[in-house]
Amino acid sequence: MTEYHENKSSIKNWNEDDRPREKLALKGRSSLSDAELLAIIMGSGNRDESAVELAKRILKSANYNWHELAKYSIEDFCQFKGIGEAKAISIITALEIGRRRNSQDVLERTKITSSHDAAILLQQQIGDLPNEEFWVMFLNQGNRIIKTEQISRGGITQTSVDIRLIFKRTLELTATAIILSHNHPSGNLVPSVSDKTITQKLKDGAALLDIQVLDHIIVSQKDFYSFADEGLI
């Protein structure tokens, strides 16, 4: 009878504390060693070595230098037991992505200095929509935009807002300030009682998390209303 042996070199069979994928998810990418990063790309080692052990041996052959490793060909990688053409191509692809990243300039995030700056961008997103949508602009400490995202979508006259979802996303993006926004398809920019209530709730909750609510901007196709400009926030 043929016996089937479990591949113990595969990452999924390691102890949970030793799994680089799980380690990255729990502790962040900077917590991984070079060998662990390479092991994730490879996925498995060979019968005698775990993926991390094999990765260490490959890195040692390149003097633990990514630039030297990037010079390796498919044939060079295939000299190592457990590395076939598919794994070699995966490693080379990852190294090429790194090379291209280094050759590009870091994109400058748009800085928000006034309600007008924010309103122009938000009008482009939601100013002419037929239904109400609630969006949040997430900013870093320098008031530069990290991301602008839709939070909810409603009907012609209103949309519901989940405050917990906004704070959850703010923390995920490590934003220090937010600008709230929604559109009024009718063109009437006067804030409703519910608009004022949700703004105050978000402002109160944000204060507990040391997050600034800089503004709540209501936009239409042609104009905007700023809570900050009107002294309501």
Tell me the three state secondary structure of residue 123: helix
> For 11-103, CATH number?
1.10.150
Q: Given this model, what pLDDT does residue 12 score?
A: 58
Pairing of strands 177-183, 145-153: unpaired
Cα separation, 47 vs 39, whole angstroms: 15
Instruction: Convert the pLDDT of each residue in 123-146 to its tens digit.
Output: 999 999 989 999 999 999 999 999
Element holding 98 (H helix, E strand): helix 85-103
Res. 5: pLDDT tops 90: no
Q: What residues does each domain of the chain span?
A: 11-103, 115-226
Output the pTM of the full model: 0.62
Location of structure tokens 């380690």: 23
Q: Please tell me the class of the 115-226 domain.
A: alpha beta
Residue 42 has a pLDDT of 95
What is the rounded CA–CA span in Å between residue 38 and residue 43?
Answer: 9
d(C-alpha 86, C-alpha 139), whole Å:
41
